[in-house]
Chain A
């Protein structure tokens, strides 16, 4: 019952404009799409302006992290990634609930605990019992994901990147990050391991390109250790248009850019622009048509 695997070309640009020159900056970037769980990264490049040589590592959650240090004075830092990604067949299976004893001894118990941006407080516990009663089944989770966008309005500018779940509940409106945090809180409150996913959403079927921002949703884990994605912004299970970038307990673990700088200048919120283009079969095949060395390069994370 999975959807068609799709291939996307993604261009993701982040611009940091400082109010004056900074003497040095140190940056951690989580912008490499995941090469796991059926999704394949066919090509990836990361460029920075001013130029720097990125070094990479894989973090605790299996995300690729690039480090970019700029040691010379600069007042602007621009990070651009270009990637071609095949999303594979997203799993849309019904999951079995965990036996609580088994979960206690499994590393995935981490995702059933509160985390800095997903505290399990009274407000979400009340909401869970209002919406789901005593039902803790996978179907109940799907129903929660369907219900969130009907109860809350998707509006940019009401919340910020630092907003809490309670801010969303108070305002009645927010963006995908807030919806994903809320869903994680409800699912964890119901005893399920739930993690936060950052990524991109491809264009609608009738379009070939979408320009905008990055997206966020959630995944829950069943007793067999498999993860299934749910998108509480659109009230659906994830499909072939969802490109996964990084996973973690909450936004704090997956922030696409984290950095600091030295100097007197003030910072400004990063300007982000994302363009996702669906590739035709021919274009996708061309992206696949790589020499043996390029293929080996691809296989390395």
Chain B
């Protein structure tokens, strides 16, 4: 069976691991009672600022407050440095891969990544082939989900389309800073507040007119789960929050409609709309979230898009098993972060292996996110297993098979005030220009209950503040 889950906070003898010692001493000295207060205060703080997850409920008008656990997740300086190098390496390789898919396709011709997986990916956009984005960067922002298995971090999933979650990390930190500033200063926690200004630097550098760049944050709209984040980032960037219907393309230039009826030229769009939806003239004709002509304006270099359109080919789950090979191929380096062992079901040999060891396998649909549609082989009856195998054989491209891993657990404040351990993961955010930069921390997501094995905010989980220590 699976080995026991690693513990983020406690060592084998039950004493706190080194990065947690100071916090746990503080809690033992009586501050422990403040955790409930912090949680209440933070919830109020979030409610005041409209930090929600999920679409506003149409009836009572209130969206659920993002559940916040007051016990921070702490990563020591040395461990972070190692993780950071692995994340930077991976983000750079993914960026090379996207550029290659839309350029010379070296990796496909050399058999590093099967060409048929790329050509059958819904994220591969043929209208993007041959485009040359400014500074040759495609994946300006990526969120690479990692989990700790045994003692080691491993990558669970790459998100290079429109990764969300940074606003929750920024807001959680602001709340902690507001409520228990002495905890942060005492522990020596690295600041994350410069994320918006780092992102702004990148957006200005890719702009066709960098010195006067007009930047717009394109949101799908207020019914999107991450709408709060779009507004917060627009504020932080000094950008305008727009929807597709606010944009107008004329002679391959993009404009936004202003409140006074005028038009302002747009130089950079930080798009939180998936690229397949951004231009109904070339992609999905039924999209009401984009504006016709945006893609041609981008191809001509009249507007910069971040992320560049078409990056979805790199976060297709069926491509994920090949990322370690990509790192070796493009960078000539050994991968510093491993993958969770994963099988390409379109390969008959790997498929047989999966069927033979089905009780250790987790099946994920390649085109779903948010933890939906996941099936654990261990939990299936024999008829359910047969059905699963039949589905996989009928459409192997639609599924990904991963070995089931035990996510590490971290101490959380329970419903009744005591402590309990819940599964956690981590989504660090990588910004890519010439050099990658990684926000020290990221979003630690917590499972919705001590029993849950899947960590996802769409499924009732919550978050913690993530501390990376100076020393």
A28-B115 in contact given A57-B299, A59-B126, A69-B293 (Cβ < 8 Å) = no
27 A-B pairs within 8 Å (CB atoms) are namely A26-B281, A26-B292, A28-B281, A57-B296, A57-B299, A60-B126, A60-B127, A60-B129, A60-B130, A61-B126, A69-B293, A71-B250, A104-B111, A104-B116, A105-B108, A105-B110, A107-B108, A107-B109, A109-B115, A109-B116, A112-B116, A113-B116, A114-B120, A259-B281, A260-B280, A260-B281, A260-B292
Greatest chain A CB density within 10 A among B116, B293, B299 is at B116
Q: Judge whether B109 and A105 touch: CB under 8 Å.
A: yes
Tell me, rounded to whole Å, the shortest Cβ–Cβ distance linking A183 to chain B: 20
Sample of 20 more A-B contacts, CB < 8 Å, known A57-B296, A107-B108, A109-B115: A26-B249, A26-B281, A28-B282, A55-B296, A57-B299, A59-B126, A60-B127, A60-B129, A69-B251, A71-B250, A104-B111, A105-B108, A105-B109, A106-B109, A106-B115, A109-B119, A110-B119, A113-B116, A113-B120, A259-B281
Mask: chain A, 87-117; 1 = CB below 8 Å from B; 0 = not? 0000000000000000011110110111000
Complex contacts, B250 vs chain A, CB 8 Å: 69, 71
Does A289 make an interface contact (CB < 8 A)?
no
Which 8 A-B pairs have CB atoms at the shortest separation, nearest pair first? Answer: A60-B126, A26-B292, A110-B119, A60-B129, A109-B115, A26-B281, A113-B120, A105-B111
Who on chain B is nearest to A53 by CB?
B251
Q: Judge whether B116 and A260 touch: CB under 8 Å.
A: no
Mask: chain A, 254-276; 1 = CB below 8 Å from B; 0 = not? 00001110000000000000000
Please pick, from A59, A61, A110, A260, the residue contacting B115 in the complex, using a CB distance under 8 A. A110
Complex contacts, B115 vs chain A, CB 8 Å: 104-107, 109-110
Does B246 make an interface contact (CB < 8 A)?
no
Question: A144-160: which have CB < 8 Å to B?
Answer: none
CA distance A114 to B122 in the complex (A): 12
CA distance A253 to B130 in the complex (A): 17
Greatest chain B CB density within 10 A among A55, A110, A259 is at A110
Q: Judge whether A104 and B252 touch: CB under 8 Å.
A: no
Complex contacts, A259 vs chain B, CB 8 Å: 281
Mask: chain B, 283-311; 1 = CB below 8 Å from A; 0 = not? 00100000011001001000000000000
Q: Judge whether A107 and B105 touch: CB under 8 Å.
A: yes
CA distance A182 to B295 in the complex (A): 32
Tell me, rounded to whole Å, the shortest Cβ–Cβ distance linking B114 to chain A: 6
CA distance A26 to B295 in the complex (A): 13
Does A67 make an interface contact (CB < 8 A)?
yes
Mask: chain A, 68-87; 1 = CB below 8 Å from B; 0 = not? 01010000000000000000
Complex contacts, A67 vs chain B, CB 8 Å: 296
Tell me, rounded to whole Å, the shortest Cβ–Cβ distance linking B59 to chain A: 31
Question: B92-116: which have CB < 8 Å to A?
Answer: 105, 108-111, 114-116
A59-B280 in contact given A26-B292, A109-B115, A260-B292 (Cβ < 8 Å) = no
Complex contacts, B280 vs chain A, CB 8 Å: 260
Tell me, rounded to whole Å, the shortest Cβ–Cβ distance linking B297 to chain A: 11
Complex contacts, A55 vs chain B, CB 8 Å: 252, 296
Who on chain B is nearest to A71 by CB?
B250
CA distance A43 to B22 in the complex (A): 80
Tell me, rounded to whole Å, the shortest Cβ–Cβ distance linking B383 to chain A: 23
Tell me, rounded to whole Å, the shortest Cβ–Cβ distance linking B39 to chain A: 49
Complex contacts, A258 vs chain B, CB 8 Å: 281, 285
Complex contacts, A28 vs chain B, CB 8 Å: 281-282
CA distance A284 to B115 in the complex (A): 43
CA distance A112 to B126 in the complex (A): 16
CA distance A60 to B131 in the complex (A): 11
Who on chain B is nearest to A58 by CB?
B130
A260-B285 in contact given A67-B296, A104-B111, A109-B116 (Cβ < 8 Å) = yes
Tell me, rounded to whole Å, the shortest Cβ–Cβ distance linking A105 to chain B: 5
Complex contacts, B293 vs chain A, CB 8 Å: 26, 69
Q: Judge whether A113 and B281 touch: CB under 8 Å.
A: no
CA distance A87 to B319 in the complex (A): 42
Complex contacts, B299 vs chain A, CB 8 Å: 57
Complex contacts, A107 vs chain B, CB 8 Å: 105, 108-109, 115
